[in-house]
């Protein structure tokens, strides 16, 4: 097999140092995406540093919000009483993703760092700038029903597949990271992921070895919360489009290279626009790529309906 080495990290800092100092090294947590990609020869790590058993799985109240450990599983987060009370949008988003088995293994950090489900990324006989920079984008001009309508480039029209990240973006959550020099920083979830530009292989602003140790949820915004996801089948399917609403904060899923915080919609809502007007403000930036044009209609209708339902519920 393609050889790689494995170590179980003793603590977070040594894990970070190990990945930073070993070319081609990667963190391993739940492994639900990484191991699949390794079997397909898409991910080719030389060294895996297992952070899944580090004491980073705690879920704690902090400053009116909640701190989710980076190694907490998706199932743990969705079942946590405080999270359920304060962040129903997050719970709804998490349980709409993957399957029960996957959520039992997948972690908070790993969920954010999962890679696109674009079929052209997975089929290694096809060009993909994300998998093989410079080879082209197979999805452009292809069967691209699932591709991005916001922030795509001529190099990549892939979407980020996480449901959880969409709720986190709407909630204004941040990630807390540990860097190889031992320093810690926080950055907003919507700033964690990059747009593809001409380097779609670089998906986040994390530096090599930087580890997501926690997600910080600020106190919930005033107002109702809801997550609505459109998918081909009732369960265990990636979103065609999704909307997370938390008070006046709105994010879209499955429409961009990242969870898409709909700032123009939020601004319009704050200025007193109707939901329909507010979503159009955001959709002015949307661009279809052939077969994904329906996503614009879905986002339009779903956002209006979700905001209306949230308004009734609040």
Partner 1 sequence: MSSVKDWAAPNPITENRGGLIGKGVDRYEGKLKVTGTAPYAYEVEPPSPPAYGYLVTAPIARGRIARIDAAVAEASPGVHFVWTHHNVPAQASRGSRANPRSQRASNPALVGDRIEYFGQSVAFVVADTFENARAAANLVEVEYAAEPAVVDFAASLDQADQPPGEEDVHIGDFPGAYGSAPVTVDETYVSPVQNHVQMEPVATLAWWDGDKVTVHTSIQMVKGGQHALAETLAIPGDRVHLLTRYIGGGFGGKGQPYDDLILAALGARELGRPVKIAYTRQQMFHGTIHRPAVIMRVRLGAEPDGRLTAFAVEATTHCARNAIFTEHAANFSRNLYAAPNRLTGHRLVKMDLPGAGPMRAPGEAPGMLSLECAMDELAEKLGMDPIELRIRNEPDVDPETGKPFSIRQLVQCLTEGAQRFAWDRRNPKPGQVRDGRWLVGMGMACAIRGNFLLPAKAGVRIDADGTITLRQGMTDIGTGTYTILAQITAETLGVSLDKVKVEIGDSEFPPAPGSGGQFGAATAGSAAYEAGMNLRKALTELAVGDPNSPLYGGPAEYVTFENGLIGIENRTEALAALVARAAPEGVYVEGSISPAADARDYSQHTYGAHFAEVGVDTVTGEVRMRKMFGVFAAGRILNAKTAKSQITGGMIWGVGTALTEGNAVDPRYGSFINQDMAGYLVPSHADIVDLDAIFLDEADDKANPMGIKGVGELGICGAGAAVANAIYNAVGVRLRDYPMTPDKVLAGMIAKGL
User: Is 288 among the residues that bind partner 1 (CB under 8 A)?
Assistant: no
Q: Please, which of residues 182-241 interact with partner 1 by CB under 8 A?
A: 230-238, 240
User: Is 312 among the residues that bind partner 1 (CB under 8 A)?
Assistant: no
Q: Out of 7, 50, 123, 277, point to the residue binding partner 1 (CB under 8 A).
A: 123
User: Is 30 among the residues that bind partner 1 (CB under 8 A)?
Assistant: no
User: Is 67 among the residues that bind partner 1 (CB under 8 A)?
Assistant: no
Helix (H, G, I), strand (E, B) or coil at 269: helix
**Residues with Cβ within 8 Å of residue 288, at least 6 apart in sequence:** 149, 295, 296
**Would you give the binding string for partner 1 spanning residues 93-122, x where CB under 8 A is met?**
------------------------x-x--x
Question: In which order are the strands placed within the sheet that holds 5-8?
Answer: 5-8, 47-50, 25-28
Q: Residue 153: in which H helix or E strand, if any?
A: none
Q: How far apart are CA 29 and CA 272, in angstroms?
A: 44
Q: Out of 143, 207, 276, 314, point to the residue binding partner 1 (CB under 8 A).
A: 143
Closer to partner 1 by CB, 117 or 194: give it.
Answer: 117
Among the residue ranges 39-47, 80-88, 254-262, 276-284, the one whose residues contact partner 1 (CB under 8 A): 39-47
Distance set, CA 67 to CA 174, 219, 220 (Å): 10, 11, 13
Closer to partner 1 by CB, 194 or 301: give it.
Answer: 301
C-alpha torsion sign, points 163, 31, 172, 61: positive
Helical pair 88-95 and 164-171, crossing angle rounded to 10 deg: 160
Q: Out of 12, 91, 164, 298, point to the residue binding partner 1 (CB under 8 A).
A: 298
Q: Out of 145, 187, 188, 195, point to the residue binding partner 1 (CB under 8 A).
A: 145
Question: In which order are the strands placed within the sheet that holds 249-253?
Answer: 225-230, 241-246, 249-253, 260-261
Binding residues for partner 1, per CB under 8 A?
Answer: 1-2, 39-41, 117, 119, 122-123, 125-126, 138, 141-143, 145, 230-238, 240, 291, 294, 297-298, 301-302, 305
């Amino acid at each position: 097999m393609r050889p790689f080495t494995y170590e179980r990290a003793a603590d977070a800092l040594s894990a970070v140092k190990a990945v930073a100092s070993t070319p081609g090294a990667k963190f391993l947590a739940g492994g639900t995406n990484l191991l699949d990609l390794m079997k397909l020869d898409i991910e080719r790590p030389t060294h895996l540093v297992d952070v899944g058993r580090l004491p980073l799985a705690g879920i704690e109240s902090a400053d009116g919000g909640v701190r989710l450990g980076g190694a907490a599983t998706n199932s743990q987060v969705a079942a946590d009483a405080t999270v359920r009370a304060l962040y129903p949008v997050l719970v709804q988003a998490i349980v709409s993703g993957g399957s029960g088995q996957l959520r039992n293994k997948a972690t908070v950090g790993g969920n954010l760092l999962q890679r696109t489900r674009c079929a052209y990324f997975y089929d290694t006989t096809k060009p993909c700038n994300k998998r093989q920079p410079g080879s082209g984008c197979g999805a452009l001009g292809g069967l691209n029903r699932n591709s991005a309508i916001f922030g795509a480039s001529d190099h990549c029209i892939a979407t980020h597949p996480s449901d959880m990240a969409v709720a986190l973006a709407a909630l204004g959550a941040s990630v807390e990271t540990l860097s190889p020099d031992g320093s810690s920083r926080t950055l907003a979830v919507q700033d964690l992921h990059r747009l593809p530009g001409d380097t779609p292989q670089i998906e986040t602003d994390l530096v090599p070895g930087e580890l997501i140790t926690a997600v910080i949820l600020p106190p919930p915004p005033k107002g109702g919360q809801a997550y609505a996801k459109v998918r081909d089948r009732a369960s265990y399917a990636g979103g065609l489009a999704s909307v997370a609403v938390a008070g006046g904060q709105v994010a879209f899923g499955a429409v961009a290279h990242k969870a898409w915080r709909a700032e123009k919609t939020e601004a319009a809502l704050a200025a007193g626009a109707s939901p329909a007007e507010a979503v159009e403000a955001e959709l002015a930036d949307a661009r279809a790529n052939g077969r994904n044009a329906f996503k614009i209609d879905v986002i339009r209708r779903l956002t209006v309906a979700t905001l209306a339902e949230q308004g009734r519920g609040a």
